[in-house]
Amino acid sequence: MRIVALAMIAALVLPIVPILVYRFVPPPVTPLMLIRAAGGASIHKNWVPLARLSPSLARAVIASEDEKFCAHHGFDWEALNASWRDWQAGREPKGASTISMQTAKNLFLWPGRSVVRKAIEAYLTALIELTWSKARIIEVYLNIIELGDGVYGVDAASRLYFNRPASAVTGEEAARFAAVLPNPRRWSPVTPTSYIEERAAVIRARMPGAPLGCL
């Protein structure tokens, strides 16, 4: 029992150090990058501060992924309750993951949907929300998200797909990036399917109302 207790304490305390470090320092690599690299993929990334990113990028991901980003403290409880009710009713749960939760997952965890992984994700999300600003959360998120096979972060992706830095990304291009996020290795922002075009159009229409006051 003593060993178990020490292990649990270590599991709770150890993540605090990298979270505090990454509050100021760009993360050098993520577990997903290493997993993809082990499968033969390269790692293309280029860290860019939030101030040098096109504001359209933040608007697009907030409009697409988390319209309550500036209002919640890491968790959208209304969306989580709706997903829980769908699961109980035997329906496919709708996505309830916030940008804060996705940042925690992408920064520290492996792909998957196990209960253990979700529990760790929730704990990391709470720590990140407690120690980081909203601006830092969206900055890290935009710099580490997967946007293609071996492509991470919006700057590397915009240079690859649109031949321009992330500072010059247009609203339409940002909407396409947000549209492919659910499966960036299957969908492309430069050769979009009809579904991606429709999804990007919806995101583009929502972008003017996406709140950026917390950034």
Give the pLDDT confidence of 100-119 residue by residue, as tens digits. Answer: 999 999 999 988 777 788 88
> What integer best gives the mean pLDDT of the chain?
89
Retrieve residue 59's tokens. Answer: 């608007």
Beta bridge partners of 146: 152
Task: Tally Cβ neighbours within 10 Å of residue 110.
Answer: 13
- Domains in the chain (CATH in brackets) are 30-209 (1.10.3810.10)
pTM, rounded to two decimals:
0.90
Q: Which residue has the higher pLDDT, 156 or 210?
A: 156
Mean pLDDT of 40-65: 95
- pLDDT number for residue 123: 92
- pLDDT number for residue 12: 73
Give the pLDDT confidence of 145-172 residue by residue, as tens digits. Answer: 999 999 999 999 999 999 999 999 999 9
Residue 99 has pLDDT above 90, yes or no: yes
Give the pLDDT confidence of 20-34 residue by residue, as tens digits. Answer: 999 999 999 999 999
- pLDDT number for residue 95: 62
CA distance 105 to 83: 19
CA distance 171 to 169: 7
